[in-house]
């Protein structure tokens, strides 16, 4: 087990890669009473085209199968795993994103029992025709609920504009039609491919004794048999930036229009310190341009173009990265044009000055340090920020080294008009009788 110390932030991590390929990361937090555990696989909604383990031909799975599989793992022949966690004093949950599926719990008691429950239920799949067909109705209702959400439709409408050539534009849960194609056999095929320990990470943060916890995990895994680890061949469509749709809109029963401006990144994703620096630079750049300390924000607010729903985000994953900016507005066209103008002129913006940059950099460092008091944040971020040359605990030094020139360069190279798109949700027109 490798121990790594971070004196600047007074943190220590313990790392071990087991013989079956499972990566385990333990982060003890002195003085904490709660422990948070996250068991994740690098398998999300975009991973529906791949070569199954042990086979040579690629298969195309139904949209939403990763999310469906997440739901079904909680249901066992002997009952629902949620009830077992509850009896052991733990709160459990799970989620599926574009690129990963994670199972988690938090507890202040019975850590060993809850940890072994987490590992065992994820590593013991149980699917039947009856349980799968029952779940189709449940997930269909969930999909319809999100289809009725204007904010959800706004976000995925923008993704469909930016990524019509990539699977990221498809709802994580799939469609009502696509999930009807899911069978126990297809679930097992996905499970056997993506739930191998070599494709997974187990992270615990909070109250724990590293040697003791690692011994539990080693023993548990040594008693199970797994096929040899092998690379997973994932297949994605070729990138075609010419397919980006500049503008679309839909009409929904909303009282106030919604507007979202997006920019699609053009670089190939990597997983190293350069990736992390880019992510932090882009987050800092958006704070400079649209944060509450910016004159841009104040002008948009004073003109009545934005309200408290206004937000901006930068998403960076393998296979895609994008910026999304917007919210509710009385004038969607005007807000969209204003945001696009700010982006196009970003590299020479008055917001990008040394004083404003130092202020926002200090704010980002403060937020990072504050977040390190949350075991939930630490565990979740360690999945995203654990590369050979950088971890979550290296972020503060990286932010400290960022310069105004880095922000200006990012603004000049990222916010390109040809990869910018706008999506509006507009109030339904009244029918004249």
Reported as a single tens digit per residue, the pLDDT across 333-366 is 999 999 999 999 999 999 999 999 999 999 999 9
For residue 320, the enclosing domain spans 244-427
Q: Which of 11, 23, 70, 135 is catalytic?
A: 70
Are 256 and 160 members of one domain?
A: no
Vertex 56 angle, CA 55 and 59, to 5°: 80
Do 254 and 376 have their domain in common?
yes
Whether 196 is in a domain gets the answer yes
Residue 238 inside a domain? The answer is: no
Q: How far apart are CA 278 and CA 300, in angstroms?
A: 27
Name the 3-class secondary structure at 31: coil
* Same domain as 249, residue 218: no
Q: Are residues 160 and 45 in the same domain?
A: yes
Residue 127 lies in a domain: yes
Q: Give the domain CATH number at 419.
A: 3.30.830.10
Note the pLDDT tens digit of each residue in 204-231. Answer: 999 999 999 999 999 999 999 999 999 9
Secondary-structure percent of the chain, ordered helix, strand, coil, rounded to 5: 45, 20, 35
CA distances from 320 to 114, 151, 245, 264, 423 (A): 35, 21, 16, 8, 18
The total domain count for the chain is 2
On whether residue 228 sits in a domain, the answer given is no
Q: Does 355 reside within a domain? A: yes
Residue 283 known to be catalytic? no
Same domain flag for 193 and 252: no
Domain boundary among 222, 253, 280: 222
40 and 138: one domain? yes
186 and 287 belong to one structural domain: no
The predicted structure's pLDDT at residue 27: 96
Lowest mean pLDDT among 22-31, 102-111, 356-365, 387-396: 387-396
Are residues 403 and 276 both part of a single domain? yes
CA–CA distance, 345 with 412 (Å, rounded to integer): 8
Is the pLDDT at 431 greater than 50? The verdict is no
């Amino acid at each position: 087990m490798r121990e790594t110390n971070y004196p600047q932030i007074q943190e220590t991590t313990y790392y071990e890669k087991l013989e079956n390929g499972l990566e385990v990361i333990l982060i003890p937090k002195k003085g904490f009473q709660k422990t948070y555990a996250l068991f994740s696989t690098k398998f999300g909604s975009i991973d529906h085209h791949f070569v199954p383990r042990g086979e040579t031909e690629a298969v195309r799975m139904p949209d939403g199968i990763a999310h469906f599989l997440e739901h079904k793992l909680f249901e066992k022949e002997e009952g629902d795993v949620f009830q077992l966690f509850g009896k052991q004093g733990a709160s459990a949950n799970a989620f599926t994103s574009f690129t990963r599926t994670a199972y988690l719990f938090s507890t202040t008691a019975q850590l060993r029992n809850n940890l072994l429950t987490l590992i065992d239920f994820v590593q013991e799949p149980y699917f039947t025709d009856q349980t799968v067909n029952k779940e189709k109705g449940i997930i269909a209702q969930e999909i319809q609920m999100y289809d009725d959400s204007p904010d959800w439709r706004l976000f995925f409408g923008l993704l469909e504009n930016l990524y019509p050539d990539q699977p990221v534009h498809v709802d994580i849960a799939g469609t009502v039609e696509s999930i009807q194609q899911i069978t126990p056999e297809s679930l097992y095929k996905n499970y056997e491919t993506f739930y191998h320990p070599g494709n997974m990470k187990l992270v615990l943060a909070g109250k724990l004794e590293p040697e003791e916890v690692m011994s539990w995990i080693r023993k548990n895994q040594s008693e199970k048999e797994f096929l040899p680890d092998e690379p997973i061949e994932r297949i994605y469509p070729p990138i075609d930036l010419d397919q980006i749709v500049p503008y679309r809109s839909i009409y929904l029963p909303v009282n106030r229009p919604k507007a979202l401006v997006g920019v699609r990144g053009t670089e190939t994703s990597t997983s190293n310190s350069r990736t992390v620096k880019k992510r932090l630079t882009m987050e800092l750049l958006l704070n400079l341009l649209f944060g509450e300390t910016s004159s841009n924000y104040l002008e948009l607010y004073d003109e009545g173009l934005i309200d408290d729903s206004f937000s901006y985000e930068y998403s960076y994953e393998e296979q895609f990265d994008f910026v999304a900016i917007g919210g509710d507005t009385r004038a969607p066209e005007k807000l969209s044009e204003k945001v696009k103008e700010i982006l196009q002129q970003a590299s020479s913006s008055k917001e990008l000055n040394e004083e404003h940059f130092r202020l926002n950099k200090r704010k980002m460092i403060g937020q990072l340090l504050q977040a390190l008091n949350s075991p939930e944040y630490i565990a979740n971020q360690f999945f995203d920020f654990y590369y050979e040359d950088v971890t979550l605990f290296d972020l503060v030094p990286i932010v400290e080294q960022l310069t105004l020139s880095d922000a200006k360069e990012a603004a000049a190279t990222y916010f390109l008009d040809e990869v910018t798109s706008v999506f509006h949700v507009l109030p339904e027109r009244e029918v004249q009788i």
